[in-house]
Amino acid sequence: MNSLLLNTDGVQIPQIGFGVWRVPDDEAERSVETALEVGYRHIDTATLYQNEAGVGRAVRASGIPRAKLFVTTKLWNTDHERPEEAFEESLARLGLDYVDLYLIHWPTPARDTYLRAWRGLEKIYRDGRAKAIGVSNFTVETLTRLLDEADIAPSINQIELHPYLQQRELRAFHEANGILTEAWSPLGQGRGLLEDRALRVLSDKHNRTPAQIVLRWHIQLGNVAIPKSVTPSRIKENFGVFDFVLDQEDVAAIGAMNIGKRLGPDPDQFN
Ligand code: NAD
Closest residue by Cα to residue 160 from 93, 218, 120, 110: 218
pLDDT at 1: 75
**pLDDT tens digit at each of 271 positions of the chain:** 799 999 998 999 999 999 999 999 999 999 999 999 999 999 999 999 999 999 999 999 999 999 999 999 999 999 999 999 999 999 999 999 999 999 999 999 999 999 999 999 999 999 999 999 999 999 999 999 999 999 999 999 999 999 999 999 999 999 999 999 999 999 999 989 999 999 999 999 999 999 999 999 999 999 999 999 999 999 999 999 999 999 999 999 999 999 999 999 999 999 8
pLDDT of residue 9: 87
Q: Kindly report the protein residue whose alpha carbon is nearest to atom 26 of ligand 1.
A: 185
Q: What distances in angstroms separate CA 120 from CA 28, 75, 127, 214, one per listed residue?
A: 28, 10, 11, 36
Q: Where are the beta strands (DSSP E) in the chain?
A: 3-5, 12-14, 18-19, 42-44, 70-75, 99-104, 130-136, 156-160, 180-184, 224-225
Give the ipTM of the model, two decimals please: 0.99
Cβ of residue 76 lying under 6 Å from some atom of ligand 1: no
What phi, psi does 229 have (nearest 5°)? -160, 150
Reported pTM: 0.99
Number of structural domains found in the chain? 1
Is the C-alpha dihedral spanning 232, 29, 136, 11 positive or negative?
Answer: negative
pLDDT tens-digit map of 204-241: 999 999 999 999 999 999 999 999 999 999 999 999 99
Question: Is there a domain that residue 263 lies in?
Answer: no
Residue 260 domain flag = no
Domain presence at residue 184: yes
- Ligand 1 lined by 44 (C-beta under 6 Å): yes
Q: What is the DSSP string of 228-246?
A: B-SSHHHHHHHH--SS---
What's the CA-to-centroid distance between 111 and ligand 1, angstroms? Answer: 27
Q: Is 40 assigned a catalytic role? A: no
Residue 241 domain flag: yes
Whether ligand 1 lies within 6 angstroms of the CB of 21 is answered as yes
| 34 inside domain | yes
Assigned domain for 87 exists = yes
Is 224 within 8 Å of 183 (Cβ atoms)? yes
Using one digit for the tens of pLDDT, what is the confidence trace for 126-164? 999 999 999 999 999 999 999 999 999 999 999 999 999
The answer to the question of residue 67 being in a domain is yes
Annotated binding site: 105
**Does residue 189 have its Cβ closer than 6 Å to ligand 1?**
yes
Candidate list 40, 49, 114, 164, residue with the active-site label: 49
Beta bridge partners of 135: 104, 157
Owning domain of residue 228: 3-255
The CA distances from residue 55 to 28, 50, 71, in Å, are 6, 10, 9
Is residue 186 in a domain?
Answer: yes
- CATH number of domain containing 116: 3.20.20.100
The alpha-carbon radius of gyration of the chain (Å, integer) is 18
